[in-house]
Amino acid sequence: MKRPVFILTLVGAFLAFLILSGSLYTVSETEQVFITEFGKPVGTPINADPAKNEAGLHFKKPFIQEINRIEKRILEWDGPATEMPTRDKLYVSVDNFARWRISDPKIYFEKLRDERSALSRLDDIIGSETRNVIASHDLIEVIRSDKDRKPVRDEALAAADSNLGVLPPIREGRAFLDQQILKAAAPKVRSWGIELIDIRFKRINYKPGVIEKIYARMASERQQIAERFRSEGAGEAAKILGRKERDLQQIDSEAYRTQQEIRGKADAEATGIYATAYNSSPSAAEFYQFMKTLETYQTLSKDTTAVFTTDSDLFRLLKRIDPKQE
């Protein structure tokens, strides 16, 4: 008799354990739970109200009720980069991200069931609204983060041309576009029990085919600036060379004038000295005439042909002297 009683006790304990384990469950602080009975939600979600801390041990009907755990913390959405055109017909690759949470777990479970379905719906909604906002604004609105931020101007461009490097004014800026996307997408995902907290741009790039053209245009602009600087430098060099030639000619002219003035004064003084010496005495005059004649002879080379009369003063010294007259 003792053996059957023991077996029945073990079976009863096992059944009690199954019933107890099937009726007890715990709720973490990072999750919210609602109960379904035969696949239909029953009651209100547990730990869904931020003002109430319902984490801990809870009870449910065993076997016929199931618990469904849903994340309570803020979740992330990081969509794929998508190519889209701006209002000024420039194609860019836009990569943005968002933060969201489950605000109504009952509706979320009924319409989406799991997080993978929610992310797929977010891809569609946020991607569509991002495309609409980008298409309704120029590229400068997407690139500039804030309309009040002043860009740093390239001094090389400013020196070459006052109109180069001047960006057109913007009205809103990228931060405002983030809010536009959030404002348009939030009501659409609210019907799925999802609350969009924030949407931001992560990266905005040109298409790979457009980047090369942009780099080529930038290189062309820099080449134009370089050519302009070279042209201005060549003009300045020509001016400097012109001033140098003018100054050299002026210096040569003044030096030649000074030289002629000094030579004229020297000739005048020499003539005065010669005249004084010539008039001082007859012998001095004869000696002077003799020296000047010798100087004249020195100017005659062997290839020079000169014709003199016999009574010429210049020929006088070349006559043969008779020894009898000495």
The whole model's pTM is what? 0.56
- Reduced to 3 states (helix: H, G, I; strand: E, B; else coil), residue 27 is strand
CA gap 51, 210 in Å, rounded: 52
CA gap 176, 294 in Å, rounded: 108
Tokens of 307: 């014709």
**Ordered per-residue pLDDT tens for the chain, 326 residues:** 466 766 666 666 666 666 666 677 777 888 888 787 777 777 777 766 766 777 777 777 777 778 788 888 889 999 888 888 888 888 888 999 999 998 888 888 888 888 889 999 999 999 999 999 999 988 888 887 766 656 555 555 555 555 555 556 677 788 889 999 999 999 999 999 899 999 999 888 887 776 777 778 778 878 888 888 888 888 899 999 999 999 999 999 999 989 888 988 888 888 777 777 667 666 666 676 777 777 777 776 667 777 777 677 666 666 654 545 44
Render the burial of 285-312: b for 16+ CB within 10 Å, e for the rest. eeebeeeeeeeeeeeeeeeeeeeeeeee
Q: What domains appear along the chain, each with residue ranges and CATH number?
A: 2-71 (no CATH), 75-206 (3.30.479.30)
CA gap 33, 72 in Å, rounded: 9
Tokens of 313: 């003063």
- In the chain, the amino acid numbered 279 is N
CA gap 110, 89 in Å, rounded: 42
Residue 73: which of 191, 197, 231, 204 has the closest Cα?
Answer: 197
Helices (H), the chain: 2-23, 105-111, 115-135, 139-143, 155-160, 174-190, 208-280, 282-298, 313-316
